[in-house]
Amino acid sequence: MITGDRFLQGVKRRVTVPASQVLVNNAGMLQLADDVTRDKIVPLIMAVNQNFFIYRETIALVADQAEYQIPYRSIARGLRELKLHAVGNTGSGGTSNLPQIALEDAHLFPQSGVPSGFYFQGDRIVVLPTPINTSYELYSWYDLQPSQIVQTTDAARVASVSTNVVTCTSVPSTMTAGVLVDFIQGVSGCGTLAMDEAITNVSGTQITFASADDIPSTLVAGDYISIKQTTPVLQIPDEAQPLLETLTALRLLKAVGDFDGASQLMQDAAQQETDLKKILQPRIEGEPTKIVNRQGLVRGKGFNYWRLRSGYYP
């Protein structure tokens, strides 16, 4: 597990700058690291197409409502996949592909019924036709933005969980009733267990939520509760930490005018980036990817259209 504290120690080992420099403080270095994560690390990791940031979210459909907001933490306001699911149907026939439809063809669909396609409109998904009831929901998969890195003192480490109360080793003063928090898995990676849950009360080291449903069932001792969109654990593969440290140190040296030191780190960063790409792909070497013909007779748009017309939705 690479925490924000451990990351800061790594950056400080790579650079030596005057203590009077404002950017040398921990908050400044973590802000630089967030910039580097967005500018360099995320594009590099996504380029290998290995689904490191994929997160699944269910969107409930509302009767007579066609437009739905794309999850606001989605990288580039995009989706990896969108499927239609029949509520309560746990069988294999309960989920079907929901193809993207060209905006120019939207008028070809009926005004209301069971959705059989969608298109994008700004930051919204528009399903076609408009849902006639709440019998269906959307399964969305998207690349989740890594949260801003904070030190472990800015988060609450979980000690135990009992119904709707989480006991922590300590609770920062920023966590009070009404504050929205994320539940962060206490291991490295992209482990956001749940997002945007509101605290109802804080008493000592105990944080209370409205109900047990607000707390993810996977939350265990050693995990963290952190202010929404922040994390005390780096949400990138551990192997990407050296590159993030080097690039953060590089920007720090440029900011304080140490261009000779920055030049040296540039060479290190180039080699680290090359090595990281080799490590990140493929994620599995012994199994080839099975190609599924999603546009075939039983999975393609034609089959979905036939189901819409015939009313066949198991």
Residue ranges of the domains in the chain?
A: 1-51+236-283, 54-144, 150-235
Question: Which residues, including other chains, have CB under 8 Å from residue 277's CB and lie 6 or more apart?
Answer: 44, 47, 48
Alpha-carbon distance 195 to 200, whole Å? 15
Say how many residues make up the chain: 314
**What is the pLDDT, as a whole number, of residue 313?**
44
Q: Where are the alpha helices (DSSP H) in 159-258?
A: 241-255
Interstrand relation of 165-168 and 117-121 (parallel, antiparallel or unpaired): unpaired
The average confidence (pLDDT) of the chain is: 88
- Output the CA angle 236-238-243, nearest 5 degrees: 80
**What is the pLDDT, as a whole number, of residue 31?**
94
81-100 confidence digits (pLDDT tens): 999 999 988 776 789 999 99
133-168 confidence digits (pLDDT tens): 999 999 999 999 999 999 999 999 999 999 999 999
Per-residue confidence band for 304, with pLDDT thresholds at 50, 70 and 90: low
Peptide linkage before 129 cis (omega within 30 of 0): yes
**What is the pLDDT, as a whole number, of residue 282?**
78
**What is the pLDDT, as a whole number, of residue 314?**
42
Lowest mean pLDDT among 7-16, 34-43, 242-251: 7-16
Tell me if 279 sits within 8 A of 68, measured CB to CB: no
Joined tokens for residue 150? 């904070």
